[in-house]
Amino acid sequence: MDALHTAGVRFAQALQAGPPWLEKFWISVTSLADPKCIFTVCFPLAYFLDRKVGVSVLWIGLVSEWLNVVLKWFLFGERPFWWVYESGLASKEQVVLRQFPVSCETGPGDPSGHCMITGAALWPLVTALTALASARSRSLVLKLTPFVAYALLLLAVGLSRVFILAHFPHQVVSGILAGAALGWSLQAHIPATRGFFVAAALALLLGTLTLHSLVITTGIDIDW
């Protein structure tokens, strides 16, 4: 893993060595793609456009947020900002990296929550826009535009997370793949009743507490 982490640090260095104007862009992207925006911005907008799509965004966002935390408990994952010093790499060779106000995230980093939750929750919105474009036009370019925009957004979010040293590239890739797979698999199973959401929220809460207790009991320090 050290070789993979070192390669990730080199990639982050290359990103940070880019044009100065890109710095504001990457920081803006990582801020706008914060998982909280799924619930405060994307869900209301999607619900306004189409109730079913809005509920899909909310439901998939909720499940992906929960699953991301659980995966991090078991996969752990170092954070580049801390790993550079804890691994001793910074003392062995000169590592030129810049710190930003959003660099010092703590806790496990694999998979990337920004990529996974955004990728999962936006999937139903992208497929709905694709269906709308297909119904109104025969242009292949227009039909593919929502998915191209989706892919470019996730790429930008992933690069922004590497740029600020919050994640290694492989954590970003795993987040994107997990998010797209989760969005695709859950889209066909969207609840239609309010009671289901209450029951699901309680089930996720109890499931989290149970898993937390089991992990602690087995001697795994999830607060490392």
Task: List active site positions.
Answer: 114, 167
Higher pLDDT pick, 104 / 26: 26
With 70 as the cut, is the pLDDT of residue 32 above it? Answer: yes
pLDDT tens string 54-70: 989 999 999 999 999 88
CA distances from 53 to 13, 112, 147 (A): 39, 24, 16
Q: How confident is the model at residue 90 (pLDDT cuts 50, 70, 90)?
A: low
Neighbours of 171 (CB within 10 A): 28
Q: Lowest mean pLDDT: which of 5-14, 111-120, 157-166?
A: 5-14
109 in Cβ contact with 79 (< 8 Å): yes
Q: Whole-model pTM?
A: 0.89
pLDDT tens string 204-213: 889 889 988 8
Distance CA 214, CA 143 (A): 47
Tokens of 116: 């996974």
Mean pLDDT of 14-43: 90
With 90 as the cut, is the pLDDT of residue 183 above it? Answer: yes
What residue type is 107 in one-letter code? G
Higher pLDDT pick, 191 / 130: 130
Q: How confident is the model at residue 157 (pLDDT cuts 50, 70, 90)?
A: very high
